[in-house]
């Protein structure tokens, strides 16, 4: 549910990246493409970090940190000056967001796959993906009208605050914060049972 709320609040801003570059920062089409490339490069770096060092005992910590590393730079992007100096900061912030993104998606899926037996996993992932993917289009419906009324940059501020609030909620909920620790304990008990 936290992931669905995150998607709902973040997707309107995510759909506005080209307009943010060209309209707010007075950039070019090439610069809009550069932002996409920078974000994708950040995701590649994040995925590499997970691949090399991803054997954490508590994977919820990097997942929760990822909420803030996406939310805070997104919110800051909305208060940058609308000129080329602001665009340079926008590009730098997008590297951080890109690096953080795989931590949420990859580690969450890994924990879900370990949490349920194989015969139930298809249904569980189906419900999870439906929740996450349904929230996106709902957010996108309001993206254009909201941007027209309040401005693209304020949409980024709202998205950033929403993502950060999701991180705060995840920290405050023990069932979420301790999910991976409890999962490791459950898996350890399952591996000990055959020996008894």
**How many domains does the chain divide into?**
1
| pLDDT tens column, 73-105 | 999 999 999 999 999 999 999 999 999 999 988
Q: Give 164: exposed, middle or buried? Use CB within 10 Å, 0-12, 13-18, 19+.
A: buried
- The C-alpha atoms of residue 194 and residue 196 are separated, in whole angstroms, by 6
What are 71's two structure tokens?
A: 């939310």
| pLDDT tens column, 151-195 | 899 999 999 999 999 999 999 999 999 999 998 888 888 777 655
Determine the structural domain holding residue 151 and report its residue range.
Answer: 2-195
Q: What is the pTM of this model?
A: 0.86
- The C-alpha atoms of residue 11 and residue 55 are separated, in whole angstroms, by 30
CATH code of the domain covering residue 115: 1.20.1250.20
Tell me the three state secondary structure of residue 132.
helix
At 39, is the pLDDT very low, low, confident or very high (cuts 50, 70, 90)?
very high
Q: Give 194: exposed, middle or buried? Use CB within 10 Å, 0-12, 13-18, 19+.
A: exposed
Query: Is residue 179 within 8 Å of 111, Cβ to Cβ?
Result: yes
Q: What is the four-CA torsion angle of 78, 158, 107, 189, rounded to 10 degrees?
A: 150
């Amino acid at each position: 549910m936290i992931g669905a709320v995150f998607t709902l609040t973040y997707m309107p801003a995510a759909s506005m990246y080209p307009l943010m570059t060209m309209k707010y920062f007075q950039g070019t089409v090439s610069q809009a493409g550069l932002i996409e490339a920078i974000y994708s490069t950040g995701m590649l770096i994040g995925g590499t970090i997970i691949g090399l060092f991803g054997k954490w005992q508590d994977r919820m910590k990097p997942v929760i940190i990822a909420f803030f590393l996406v939310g805070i730079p997104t919110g800051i992007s909305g208060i940058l000056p609308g000129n080329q100096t602001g665009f340079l900061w926008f590009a730098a912030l997008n590297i951080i967001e890109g690096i953080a993104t795989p931590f949420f998606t990859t580690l969450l899926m890994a924990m879900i796959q370990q949490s349920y037996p194989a015969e139930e996993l298809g249904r569980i992932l189906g419900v999870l993906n439906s929740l996450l993917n349904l929230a996106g289009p709902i957010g996108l419906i309001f993206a254009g009208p909201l941007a027209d009324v309040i401005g693209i940059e304020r949409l980024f501020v709202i998205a950033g605050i929403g993502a950060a609030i999701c991180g705060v909620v995840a920290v405050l909920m023990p069932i979420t914060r301790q999910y991976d620790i409890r999962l490791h304990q459950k898996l350890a008990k399952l591996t000990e049972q055959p020996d008894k």
